[in-house]
């Protein structure tokens, strides 16, 4: 009898579930239809937002961010409506509460990811650099290849690709060599103590003026800097039109060649390192004076 009662109870439960499922079929169909319409509408709205953003700004990263946020928001609204059709209002409330708790826990667990994400958003708005710019950050020098909401990809001139977290880029110094379209070269040179310094200055300035990539908007600067061990040293500062790293390297190479050729043509010497040997305790004595007389005579 107990087994019969248990089977009847199970069958009764199954019948109730089947009846409830049949009664819910219209709502299930409507909820499924709402979800399908929601996904289609979200995709359409995403495309519209992308087109509108292209008219407002050319920042592709910002386009993707805003379009994705709108897309997810539409899907979330549609999912809540579908749950409401199924009379799962309490489930919706529970999901919202659970999402808040999970979001708080994930926020603590993934602080670095959140920081990179927020840094990516801010840099997308402020645009301290663009794809193709030559930048230096975190001791990494190279060309920006790609920037997403997590990291910035910088390709070095040796061929390596550095993946730098956006948080590190945003919180540290960024040197952008491409933003001005020009770059200054500081060239250190030395001449012998026997040369005419005014002549050296004029010859050096004239040599640099012959460079093809020289920017005419900025003056050439010439400064003597110090009395070196073997030379009087000076520094030439001049600006060049700059688009890529080879422009900088080629201009510096051309300047060195032009100055060397001009010095040769005007008998200006760039001295080798010179060492003076002093003999004796006080120094200044000649070698012949310090040797014994008989050895001095032989040496002379």
Domain ranges of the chain: 2-109, 129-176, 180-300
Per-residue pLDDT of the chain (300 residues; tens, 9 = 90+): 456 566 666 666 666 666 666 666 677 778 788 888 888 988 898 888 888 877 766 666 667 777 877 888 888 888 878 777 777 666 666 666 666 666 666 565 567 777 887 888 788 777 888 888 999 988 899 999 888 778 899 999 888 999 999 888 888 889 999 888 899 999 999 999 999 999 999 999 999 998 888 988 889 999 999 998 889 999 999 999 888 888 899 999 999 999 999 999 999 998 887 666 665 655 556 656 666 654 445 544
- Which distant-in-sequence residues (6+ apart) come within 8 Å of 116 by Cβ? 149, 150, 151, 165, 166, 167
Query: What CATH number is given for 129-176 in this structure?
Result: 2.30.30.60
Between CA 172 and CA 180, with CA 175 as vertex, the angle to 5 degrees is 145
Give the pLDDT of residue 176.
92
- Residue in this structure with the two tokens 């977290």, named with its chain if needed: 165
Please tell me whether residue 43 adopts helix, strand or coil conformation: helix
Q: Nearest-CA neighbor of 121 among 56, 173, 167, 174?
A: 167
Statement: 2-109 belongs to CATH 1.10.3470: no
CATH number for 180-300: choose from 2.60.40.3470, 3.40.50.2300, 3.40.50.10800, 3.30.70.100: 3.30.70.100
Tokens at 58, concatenated: 């050319």
In whole angstroms, give the CA distance from residue 48 to residue 71.
11
- Residue in this structure with the two tokens 């239809």, named with its chain if needed: 33
């Amino acid at each position: 009898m107990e087994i019969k009662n248990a089977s009847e109870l199970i069958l009764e439960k199954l019948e109730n579930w089947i009846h409830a499922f049949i009664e819910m079929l219209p709502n299930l169909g409507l909820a499924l239809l709402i979800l399908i319409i929601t996904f289609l509408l979200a995709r359409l709205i995403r495309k519209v937002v992308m087109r509108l953003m292209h008219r407002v700004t050319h920042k592709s990263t910002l386009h993707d961010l805003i379009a994705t946020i709108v897309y997810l928001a539409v899907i979330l609204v549609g999912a809540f409506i579908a749950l409401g059709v199924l009379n799962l209002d309490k489930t919706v409330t529970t999901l919202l509460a659970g999402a808040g708790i999970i979001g708080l826990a994930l926020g603590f667990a993934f602080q670095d990811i959140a920081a990179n994400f927020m840094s990516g958003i801010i840099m997308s708005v402020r645009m301290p650099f663009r794809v193709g710019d030559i930048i230096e950050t975190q001791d990494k020098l190279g060309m920006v290849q790609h920037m997403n909401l997590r990291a910035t990809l910088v390709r070095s001139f040796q061929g390596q690709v550095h993946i730098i977290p956006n948080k590190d880029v945003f919180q540290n110094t960024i040197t952008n060599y491409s933003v001005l379209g020009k770059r200054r070269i500081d060239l250190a040179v030395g001449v012998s103590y026997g040369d005419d310094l005014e002549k050296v200055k004029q010859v050096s300035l004239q040599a640099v003026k012959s460079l093809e990539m020289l920017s005419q908007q900025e003056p050439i600067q010439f400064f003597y800097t110090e009395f070196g061990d073997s030379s009087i040293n000076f520094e030439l500062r001049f600006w060049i039109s700059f688009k890529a790293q080879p422009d900088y390297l080629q201009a510096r190479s051309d300047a060195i060649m032009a100055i060397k050729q001009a010095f040769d043509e005007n008998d200006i010497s760039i001295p080798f390192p010179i060492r003076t040997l002093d003999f004796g305790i006080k120094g200044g004595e000649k070698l012949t004076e310090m040797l014994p007389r008989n050895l001095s005579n032989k040496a002379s």
